[in-house]
Amino acid sequence: MTAAAMDSRPRVPFYRRPVAARILMPIAVIVVWYLVYWTLGSRIFEPPHRVFEFMWNELTLETRLRNGKGPSNLYQMFGLTVVRLFAGFAIAMVVGTVIGLAMGLSKSVNAFFHDWVMAVLAMPALVWALFLGLVFGPQGNQAPIYACILAGIPFVIINVREGVRNTPKELFDMARAFGVPQNKITRNVLLPSLMPFLFAAVRYAFSVGWKGLVIAEVFASDSGMGWAIKFWYDAHQTRGVIGYALFFVAFALALEKLLFEPLAEKAFKWRPRVGDVGVVEEQFLLDQTVEGALEVEQFTGGESDG
């Protein structure tokens, strides 16, 4: 079987393989970019090679931003943003887990908080950014970190709550009936059943918190990646704006590939896997589950569990 499969492989021409399609996508983007550049005839818009040159200069520290005594190059900006992200994420995780546990265990607590959690969830990050910027001012880390917490915490709360609600009661009863010690129950029953939900909480608190943080840095901060893209925008430098946009995309992809995919594999190790395709599909399903965690009672629940 495998030998035959390996034999038949080279016969498929390269351009018809999925790998070729994946390589083709960025090329297509660059081609479209050039086409837009030529047809638009805009004075500020710039072609890919100049943007890449700018990015290279940023990476090799050729260019520096004028920012007083503050951080002035890509790595410092980036480091600052990552520190803020982790601070906001950690606080959101801790506080959100506590509230989520309480909401999952008690119907009264759930009724008390539910609508307000939903309101915070649905509020655009822009609102937090503008408001916190006025309250805390652009100096320091406060406004961005609070924006990050406010953006991420509803996802933690909802997912932890759903996790608690979804713990398999029969398994607990059975474990008790067979006299399994409590610490073993916690480790082997509670944690594995909570794991997908905690993982979803981490993932969403991180990616949504990051989006909130960036917006807060644009409107309510004088440093960080968000501030840098705003700097180039104010300077009417297309290469800066698109260059930093691509840095953002690269950061998001790196988070996805280096952090969440290995984490997902660990978190779901106990589950049977269908094959290599399963990982990506599971992610998209997760996307749906978690975005839809609020509506789990409705139809999403049945389908997203797989």
Partner 1 sequence: MVTTDERPEGRQRSAEEERLLAQRRRDTRNKWLWRIAGYVVVLLIWEYGFQAIMELIAGRSLNDALLPGPIRILQTIPDIWEDGEMLSNFGATLTRIGIGFGVSFIAGALIGLFTQNKWLDSFFRDLVVVSLTSPGLVWALTGLIIWGFKPLGWIFAIFMTTFALVSVNISEGVRALPKDLLDMAKAFGVSSIDRQRHIVIPHLAPYIFTAVRFGFSIAWKVTVLTEVFSSNKGIGFQMRVTSQVFQLDEFFTWVLSFFVFALFLEKVVLQRAEDRYFRWRQEVAT
Q: Which of residues 76-135 bind partner 1 (CB under 8 A)?
A: 107-109, 111-116, 119, 122-127, 130-131, 133-135
Residues 6+ apart with CB under 8 A from 50: 239
- With 0-12 / 13-18 / 19 or more C-beta atoms within 10 angstroms meaning exposed / middle / buried, residue 130 is middle
CB of 304 to partner 1, least distance (A): 10
The Cα–Cα gap between 191 and 213 comes to 30
CB of 101 to partner 1, least distance (A): 17
Nearer to partner 1 among residue 190 and residue 202 (C-beta): 202
The Cα–Cα gap between 289 and 200 comes to 9
The Cα–Cα gap between 191 and 181 comes to 15
CB of 229 to partner 1, least distance (A): 6
Q: Which of residues 128-167 bind partner 1 (CB under 8 A)?
A: 130-131, 133-136, 142, 146
Nearer to partner 1 among residue 222 and residue 287 (C-beta): 287
Q: Which of residues 39-58 bind partner 1 (CB under 8 A)?
A: 40, 42, 44-45
Q: Which of residues 243-262 bind partner 1 (CB under 8 A)?
A: 244-245, 248-249, 252-253, 255-256
Nearer to partner 1 among residue 76 and residue 142 (C-beta): 142
Q: Which of residues 262-301 bind partner 1 (CB under 8 A)?
A: 280, 284-285, 287-288, 291-292, 298-300
Q: Which of residues 194-233 bind partner 1 (CB under 8 A)?
A: 207, 210-211, 214-215, 218, 226, 229-230, 233
CB of 264 to partner 1, least distance (A): 14
Nearer to partner 1 among residue 86 and residue 131 (C-beta): 131
| CB-based contacts of 124-132 (< 8 A; 24+ apart in sequence) | 125/150, 125/151, 125/211, 125/212, 125/215, 125/216, 126/215, 126/219, 128/212, 128/215, 128/216, 129/212, 129/215, 129/216, 129/218, 129/219, 129/220, 130/219, 130/220, 132/216, 132/220
CB 197 within 8 A of CB 160: yes
